[in-house]
Amino acid sequence: MQTTDGQIFLTMISPTAPHGLNVVRMRRQIEAQTPEVMALNDTNMGDPQTGLTKVPDLMVIAEEDTDDTANASTRATS
């Protein structure tokens, strides 16, 4: 499911085993080569500027951005 321009789009497809395997392989490579990031799959991601919500197959973000407690303590000391 995703939202675009205030409309909800739902696509009902089942990922295939080869697709899932490719996602896992990419995730492992990314995490092995860049330990400062997290590779997350099947995770809702909202864009605060556009309001769009998507569920990407694989999303890579800085590990510090996944921890609300770390973000709060960083803001408090800045």
pLDDT digits (tens, 9 = 90+) for 2-46: 777 888 777 766 778 888 899 999 999 999 999 889 888 878 888
**Residue linked to tokens 């999303």:** 59
Q: What CA–CA distance (Å, rounded) separates 20 from 56?
A: 12
Q: What CA–CA distance (Å, rounded) separates 41 from 44?
A: 9
DSSP 57: S
Q: Which residue has the higher pLDDT, 56 or 67?
A: 56
- Residue 56, pLDDT > 60, answer yes
Q: Find how far residue 20's CA is from the centre of its chain.
A: 15
pLDDT of res. 1? 64
Q: What CA–CA distance (Å, rounded) separates 56 from 30?
A: 16
